[in-house]
Amino acid sequence: MIVDAELAAAVHGRPHWRIGGDTAVYAPPGSESVVRVRPLGSSPSGRDRYHAAVIRNGAAQASVTERSAGAAVGWSERRQLA
């Protein structure tokens, strides 16, 4: 079960998301890439609280930090995953 309440609420009921531990994973059918969203312990700016990364073949292809879980989830869903 996900421990971050804001992240759990942001993905609740959305298609193609699975949750586990402190990470939410967006994996649309047929895509070789996934997006992982996790809370940050701390960030250099002190404002960003979530990290999202597109992962393909075990390597990050793109990433972003966001102030809210909802913003990180939205970024994830807008990616063109191959």
Instruction: Give per-residue pLDDT as tens, 19-36.
Output: 988 899 999 999 999 999
Between the alpha carbon of residue 74 and those of residues 16, 19, 47, 57, 58, the distances in Å are 13, 16, 18, 23, 22
Torsion sign (Cα): 18, 76, 36, 38: negative
Between the alpha carbon of residue 77 and those of residues 16, 17, 71, the distances in Å are 10, 10, 10
pTM: 0.88
pLDDT tens-digit readout, 34-75: 999 999 976 666 788 999 999 999 999 999 999 999 999 999
**What is the H or E stretch that residue 76 is in?**
helix 69-78
